[in-house]
A and B are shown apart, each in its own frame.
Chain A
């Protein structure tokens, strides 16, 4: 009953999407306001219907309705409630439903909060958005319908892949999708602009908040995925350059470029063609990511749901939207008027530099991800492209970008004096050098490049802080004036500084853990001791334990530092009931210096010992803290009145009367 209602709602949402694609667009063509006005209720109802549909599927999971084929395939009656819910999107069909739901949510948000948009633009944007939704609804109904029923329901399901039964992974896909799918708004705006044949600074201003929101979610989604891989896969690594990871990283890179180029377009009304192209490319990369993950054309640790037929369907959708939008771009880009002038050394120049590097980096990741596929198609040779490739191509590109990063916010628009800016950054450079010397002093081993990279990371962080200090004229004004200036600084400026600071922190974390990690693999018998990075670990033995839907062997390892007992770590080996599959649970002790990471291996048959792997990952937390700072920074910028979605009020106030608006 509930399930069928959800199914009906999904079908109705598909029909509404068809309506929303046709009628508002038609209305925009003939300038019929009443037809354009249908876009808003259509977008809202499309979202509501998909919500009903999604909730119905969730209900089927919660009550374990095994007459739904999808529930049978992915759930089990003994599973804890939270994983019964997260199981909804832990499989192909459910995750695609979530995908469409988020797509519709962004459409509805534009309909609701986009009151400042011209009616025609809004109608076109929502029509394009709905075209994407329609394609995926049809895809859902025809090849991946989560509501298919069974006449003879079994008494229990087959269970969710145990590796997915984890809190971080439970909420990683919704964030990742919100990021992926959020770029659809930028795409829809770009296509709508091409259809109307006009783009200007106002367009960029309307697009930026949406892009920023998508970018925030994607940042957090990637960070959560990396965090999950770190503690669940039991290898102690946090990034594997795995195709599926790359699939989410490429839209992030080009989305970051888009954020920066839209800034130039808004301020100077230049880089129009480029920004439109980036918006199209970013969403195309998102679609490609969906295709790569869902089709299983690439080998990956994450590829758990693969089906060639679905892959082909997504490939068709991908080619229609990418091909169509690029063709429209080729047709219309020439009509876009060029904007303001700028010197190569200027804020604009800096942002162009940022864009060139970021898109080049995206391209290198793309080549590394697709090359095995192409080579296999051409010669049949099977290869894998791993970390060494990316270390050789991606990493060198990041060095000039990071070096230039602190300069950016200091550069004035139009033209700048590079020497003057360099002088202002002297302090940041010095702090970076100090960090380099300190790194070298603290650890004699490790690659020679590591202290330099460490210095760059610290320099980026210091540069971000220095920009704020410069803006409030730190040191040259009294404390009261300082507070006033701090208070008056636009929030977007805090957002920029915090995001850049987060990038620096991320770099420090990556360098620290990659260059200075220590690892020991050994067989331990009860009361054996091992020392690593100044910690003394004593293995106490293992004990069996029974969880809600798994059995496990839990090890106990006492951690002490300088003879003082700190805590007991409990790495475990689990075997789930359904499906019976082993997983490792790492025992982690987190501190500012780094993580102590322990994994239980196999029991040694002869002597009752256990193979145990111990890592010390210095500074590894900074990676995720950096990413979370970027997320928060996005939020701060989004709350700035300049970027607020409904910002420009329709009033007839005269320009001169507008008082400076402090951040509300």
Chain B
């Protein structure tokens, strides 16, 4: 083989691997990504039943109901829309009413969000940026002076 041929084989193999990887990436990005939705978007019916997505907002005050065993239901709100959520499992340490939360799962036909993952962030003052941005976009006041049910009085 000449030098050119050898190099050709090497470059060809490299390009083939890259192309295969690029195809996989494109494929994966279409199928595996999860969109982030707010409760009002869900309440407006913008999300089809059965599609996997992330729902983020605040845990509505007084909505947490513990059922049999580790089953739990609560509502996620952005103060405009309200979506009931059911979950079976152990909640993160920082899960609390009035706190920001991100849940992942699907809507069932009755409009209830069945979550298989519940995330709360590891910081007392932390609100997931998506939640903060979404809430602010909906005109909900955040930051200093915001009515945070757990903290309004002191």
Contact = CB atoms under 8 A, between A and B. Distances in A.
Interface of A: 161, 163, 234, 296, 299, 301, 304, 341-344, 349, 352-353, 356-357, 360-361, 363-364, 367-368, 371-372, 381-386, 388-389, 392-393, 396-397, 521-523, 573, 579-584, 599, 601-602, 604-605, 611, 613
Nearest to B95: A602
B144 interface: no
B1 A384 contact: no
14 contacts: A341-B6, A342-B6, A356-B13, A356-B17, A357-B17, A367-B25, A382-B134, A385-B32, A397-B17, A522-B70, A581-B94, A582-B94, A584-B93, A601-B90
A352 B97 CA distance: 55
B36 A602 contact: no
Contacts of A393: 21, 24-25, 28
B135 to A, nearest CB: 13
B36 A382 contact: yes
Given A367-B25, A581-B94, A356 B35 contact: no
Contacts of A349: 10
Interface string B76-114: 000000000000111101100000000000000000000
B11 to A, nearest CB: 10
Nearest to A579: B124
A384 B124 contact: no
B88 A392 contact: no
B90 A384 contact: no
B34 A163 contact: no
A397 B32 contact: no
Interface in B31-78: 31-36, 54, 66, 69-70
B90 A389 contact: no
B90 A613 contact: yes
B151 interface: no
A356 B28 contact: no
Interface size class of chain B, counting residues whose CB lies under 8 Å from the partner chain: 35 or more
Given A343-B1, A389-B32, A301 B93 contact: no
B129 interface: yes
A364 B25 contact: yes
B101 to A, nearest CB: 14
B6 to A, nearest CB: 6
A384 B52 CA distance: 11
A393 B133 CA distance: 30
B3 A341 contact: yes
A304 B21 contact: no
Shortest 8 CB-CB contacts between residues of A and residues of B:
A601-B90, A388-B32, A382-B36, A392-B28, A582-B93, A389-B32, A383-B33, A356-B14
B148 interface: no
Nearest to B90: A601
Give the one of A360, A364, A396 with max B CB within 10 A: A360
Nearest to A400: B17
A396 B24 contact: yes
A383 B35 contact: yes
A299 B94 CA distance: 17
Nearest to B52: A388
B34 A352 contact: no
A163 B54 CA distance: 25
A589 to B, nearest CB: 19
Given A163-B122, A352-B10, A356-B13, A381 B70 contact: no
Nearest to B16: A356
Nearest to B130: A382
A68 B28 CA distance: 49
Contacts of A296: 129
A386 B116 CA distance: 14
A353 B21 CA distance: 14
B140 interface: no
Nearest to A581: B124
A155 to B, nearest CB: 19
B6 A386 contact: no
B113 to A, nearest CB: 16
B18 interface: yes
A380 to B, nearest CB: 10
A573 B90 CA distance: 13
A462 B88 CA distance: 43
A564 B133 CA distance: 55
B129 A389 contact: no
A301 B117 CA distance: 14
B21 A602 contact: no
Contact of B66 (A299, A383, A583, A605): A605
Residue from B28, B36, B69, B126 having most chain A Cβ neighbours under 10 A: B28
Contacts of A301: 121-122
Contacts of A579: 124
Given A163-B122, A383-B35, 20 more contacts: A301-B122, A341-B6, A356-B17, A356-B18, A382-B35, A382-B133, A384-B54, A385-B29, A385-B32, A385-B33, A388-B32, A393-B24, A393-B28, A521-B90, A581-B123, A581-B124, A601-B90, A601-B91, A602-B90, A611-B90
Q: In this complex, which of B31, B89, B90, B133 has the most chain A Cβ atoms within 10 angstroms of its Cβ?
A: B90
Interface string B125-137: 0101110011000
B152 interface: no
B56 to A, nearest CB: 9
A485 B17 CA distance: 39
Given A360-B21, A388-B32, A582-B93, A304 B122 contact: yes
B146 interface: no
B54 A521 contact: no
Contacts of A584: 93
Given A352-B10, A579-B124, A523 B36 contact: no
Given A388-B28, A601-B90, A344 B10 contact: yes
A163 B121 CA distance: 11
Contact of A363 (B1, B21, B35, B94): B21
Contacts of A344: 6, 9-10, 13
Contacts of A389: 28-29, 32-33
B41 to A, nearest CB: 11
B65 to A, nearest CB: 11
A386 B130 contact: no
A573 B94 CA distance: 12
Nearest to A385: B33
A245 to B, nearest CB: 15
Contacts of A381: 35-36
